[in-house]
């Protein structure tokens, strides 16, 4: 089983990590459902890697409680290690070993029984499409091939829970797409996956995700739940002079963000407790008319990038006012 009786694989309460005066993770509450792909979205330095290292027992928290697969962490971290996999963006491979030798070595390190190891290595070579490359040195492979091999090594012992820390940052889009297919295959087979990323298109693939900003959990939900909260607050502006229109709006009250996308502008307005769709649309049109910029303003479907901008700017505004 990859989750407790209530279906939760990871539960953290008040999770905090301080490095001297720096608070890297600040009282994070987290629940990761079993057999899901759960995303950690946030910029570099937001606390994603520090949180993952605490959850898997590699780093002792300054405060808070952690339960992973029914084990108390870090007290039972040693018992947890046999039940989890961990893959980082650096692809921890032995480059002077072949594909097969990397898998055989990791099987031994992870304590896969000898009677099972040969069969398991063969399964992964076939499943991850290395049949014609099993004698190739890992150091001579492409980034996408190294990524696939690193994932195969991380699951050699069939872990119940897999941590992936920025695993696709060094590969091309096609390799990323193939990699995500492998992740969903693992989830379908019952593995729980926690994936950290700073890429919006990857976050949209997750069953559920948390957004971290400066060590604080600022949003948590399915991609659909998070984007629905911004309904009526995102707009597309078409104008002959998008740069001038952008300058007219970027510092306006009630405007959270203005981004140029091709020849159009994507505008995010303040997302308060009450929807203000009509008022916001009229407000934008008035601001553009005042600046002498005739434009078409149309409501747009919110996306995760809009969510990220909204929750992080709201969080920082609250911090300034505290």
pLDDT tens per residue across span 193-241: 999 988 888 899 999 999 999 999 999 999 999 999 888 899 999 999 9
Note whether residue 286 is domain-resident.
yes
Length of the chain: 322
| 241 and 101 co-located in one domain | no
288 and 264 inside one domain: yes
Closest C-alpha to 41, from 232, 269, 221: 221
In a domain, 322, yes or no: no
| CATH number of the domain within which 131 lies | 3.40.50.300
Instruction: Based on the fold, state whether residues 202 and 239 are members of the same structural domain.
Output: no
Amino acid 198: pLDDT: 87
- Are both 40 and 180 inside the same structural domain? yes
Residue 89 shares a structural domain with residue 182: yes
138 and 277 part of one domain? no
∠ CA(53), CA(54), CA(58), 5° rounding? 60
Q: What's residue 270's pLDDT?
A: 82
With respect to residue 67, please indicate whether it lies within any of the assigned structural domains.
no
Domain with residue 275: its CATH number is: 3.30.70.100
Residue 132 belongs to some domain of the structure: yes
How far are the Cα atoms of 38, 76, 78, 82, 192 from residue 13, in angstroms, in the given order?
17, 17, 21, 24, 19
In-domain check, residue 41: yes
Same domain, 206 and 295: no
CA 108 to chain centroid, in Å, comes to 30
Total domains in the chain come to: 2
Residue 165 sits in the same domain as residue 294: no
At 90 the pLDDT is 73
Q: Are 213 and 119 within one domain?
A: yes
186 and 141 housed in the same domain: yes
Alpha carbon distance 89, 13 (integer Å): 27
Q: Residue 195 belongs to what domain range?
A: 35-58+81-222
Check residue 238 and give its pLDDT: 95
DSSP state of 54: H
Positions of the chain with pLDDT under 50: 1-2, 5, 274-277
CA pair distance 213, 248, nearest whole angstrom? 28
Q: Are residues 176 and 257 in the same domain?
A: no
Q: Is residue 148 part of a domain?
A: yes
Evaluate whether residue 123 is within a structural domain: yes
Q: Quick one: 200 and 249 in the same domain? A: no
């Amino acid at each position: 089983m990859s989750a407790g009786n209530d279906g939760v694989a990871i539960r953290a309460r008040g999770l905090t990590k301080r490095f001297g005066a720096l608070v890297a993770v600040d009282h994070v509450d987290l629940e990761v459902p079993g057999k899901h792909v759960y995303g950690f979205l946030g910029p570099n330095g937001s606390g994603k890697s520090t949180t993952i290292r605490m959850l898997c027992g590699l780093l002792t928290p300054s405060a808070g409680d952690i339960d992973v697969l029914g084990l108390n962490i870090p007290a039972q971290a040693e018992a947890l290690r046999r039940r989890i996999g961990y893959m980082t963006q650096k692809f921890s491979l032995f480059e002077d070993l072949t594909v097969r030798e990397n898998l055989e070595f990791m099987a031994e390190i992870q304590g896969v029984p000898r009677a099972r190891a040969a069969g398991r290595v063969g399964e992964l070579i076939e499943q991850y499409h290395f049949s014609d490359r099993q004698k190739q040195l890992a150091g001579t492979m492409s980034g996408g091939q190294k990524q696939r091999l690193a994932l195969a090594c991380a699951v050699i012992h069939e872990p119940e829970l897999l941590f992936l820390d920025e695993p696709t940052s060094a590969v091309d889009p096609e390799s990323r797409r193939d990699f995500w297919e492998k992740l969903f295959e693992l989830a379908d087979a019952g593995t729980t996956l926690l994936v950290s990323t700073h890429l919006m298109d990857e976050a949209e693939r997750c069953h559920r995700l948390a957004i971290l900003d400066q060590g604080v959990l600022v949003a948590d939900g399915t991609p659909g739940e998070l984007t629905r909260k911004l309904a009526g607050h995102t707009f597309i502006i078409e104008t002959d002079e998008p740069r001038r229109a952008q300058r007219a709006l970027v510092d306006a009250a009630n405007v959270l963000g203005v981004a140029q996308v091709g020849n159009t502008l994507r505008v995010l307005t303040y997302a308060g407790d009450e929807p203000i769709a009509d008022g916001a649309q009229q407000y934008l049109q008035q601001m553009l008319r005042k600046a002498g910029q005739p434009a078409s303003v149309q409501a747009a479907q919110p996306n995760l990038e809009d969510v990220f901008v909204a929750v992080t700017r709201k969080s920082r505004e609250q911090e300034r006012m505290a």
